[in-house]
Amino acid sequence: MNNILIKILGCGASVGCPITGCDCNVCKSTNLKNNRTRTSLFIQYNYTNILVDSGPDLRQQMLRENISHIDKVLYTHKHADHVVGMDDLRSSFFYRKDILDVYGNYETLNHCYNNFKYLFKSIDYANQGSRVFFEADNDFPKKSLFGHILSNYESFNINGLKIQTFQQHHGRIHSAGYLLPDYHFAYSTDVHEFPQESIELLKNAKLKTWIISLTLKEGNDAHMSFEKIKFYNEIVKSERLIFTHMGHFIDYDDRSYLEENMSFGYDGMIVSV
Ligand SMILES: [Zn+2]
Ligand SMILES: [Zn+2]
Ligand SMILES: [Zn+2]
């Protein structure tokens, strides 16, 4: 049960922190915990390196954390700050000398396929019961990825690690949350509201740790406010909340409003489960 490592690779909002050209206190802060690369999570389980989202900082994150390669990727949604590092998965393909499995909902993987066609060897539309193989193209014969489209509440496992996806509302699109039921651990980034079914699932999971995005305290159309996170956790009752996807509105040095079971994440943070 304990052969798992969970680490926050990045906890910054879409433009990172500091933001280029910004003179605010957080962007100018000397506290390295205010220095945030784009949001991503690393899970190592039984020697399998699992990444949640490949943002624009993926290469630097892997070098910083001495991660030689990625074996599997879970995608939360299609926004650029979560997917544009897909091209950098090629180095893991070279290392492994084998295809990488990538997982996500239809909206996400379809978008990735349209933008990174040259990387995809095939896509498995599991729900529709079909598997599509793409032709090798002459420009890019070494295709690196195998896409697995997940339904909104699908359970699956990666080398024995049980994973369940759940739906989240994120502005005009949906993002996927990921639950590791055996570890009472859930990951929810980029969400402004949860469907009832997701809240029920999380409540029944008896969460010990919930990493959830706090882009800005007041929230907006795509991201929930601090108050709304508290509201949801009154139902879900996770023992611990760790915030990620933080914009420059969130100062690591101002933790006065956090409750005892809450903490800000930071790049490189190991999350014990
Ligand atoms: Zn984002
Ligand atoms: Zn700033
Ligand atoms: Zn987003």
Residue 3 Cα to ligand 1 midpoint, Å, equals 29
Q: Which residues contact residue 8 at a Cβ distance below 8 angstroms, ignoring those fewer than 6 apart?
A: 40, 41, 42, 211, 242, 244, 265, 266, 267, 268, 269, 271
Residue 98 and residue 124 in contact, taking contact as beta carbons nearer than 8 Å: no
What is the separation, in whole angstroms, between the first and last Cα of the chain?
10
Which pLDDT score is estimated for 127? 60
Q: Give the CATH class of 4-264.
A: alpha beta
Residue 81 Cα to ligand 3 midpoint, Å, equals 7
Which pLDDT score is estimated for 142? 74
Which pLDDT score is estimated for 58? 98
Residue 16 Cα to ligand 1 midpoint, Å, equals 10
The three-state secondary structure class of 215 is: coil
Q: What values do phi and psi take at 83, rounded to 5?
A: -125, -20
Domain ranges, ordered by start, for the chain: 4-264
Instruction: Work out the burial of residue 3: count CB atoms within 10 Å of its CB; fewer than 13 is exposed, 13-18 middle, 19 or more buried.
Output: exposed
Residue 261 Cα to ligand 2 midpoint, Å, equals 27
Enumerate the H helices of 97-186 as residue ranges. 106-115
Q: Which helix (H) or strand (E) holds 72?
A: strand 72-74
* Separation between Cα atoms, residue 72 and residue 56, nearest integer Å: 17
181 cis-preceded (ω within 30 degrees of 0): no
Residue 233 Cα to ligand 2 midpoint, Å, equals 29
Residue 52 and residue 40 in contact, taking contact as beta carbons nearer than 8 Å: yes
Which pLDDT score is estimated for 77? 98
* Separation between Cα atoms, residue 119 and residue 8, nearest integer Å: 26
Its pTM stands at: 0.95
Residue 162 Cα to ligand 3 midpoint, Å, equals 25
Residue 39 gets which letter from DSSP? P
Which pLDDT score is estimated for 209? 98
* Separation between Cα atoms, residue 50 and residue 53, nearest integer Å: 10
Give the amino acid at 79. Answer: H
Residue 115 Cα to ligand 3 midpoint, Å, equals 17
* Separation between Cα atoms, residue 64 and residue 24, nearest integer Å: 26
3-state SS, one letter per residue, for 129-144? CEEEECCCECCECCCC
Residue 211 Cα to ligand 3 midpoint, Å, equals 15
Residues with CB under 5 A from ligand 1 (ion): 14, 81, 190
The three-state secondary structure class of 120 is: strand
> Nearest bound ligand to CA 168?
3
Mean pLDDT of residues grouped by 10 in the chain (273 residues)?
88 98 98 98 97 98 98 98 97 94 95 92 73 63 87 95 98 98 98 98 98 98 98 98 98 98 98 97
* Separation between Cα atoms, residue 64 and residue 268, nearest integer Å: 9
Residue 82 Cα to ligand 1 midpoint, Å, equals 6
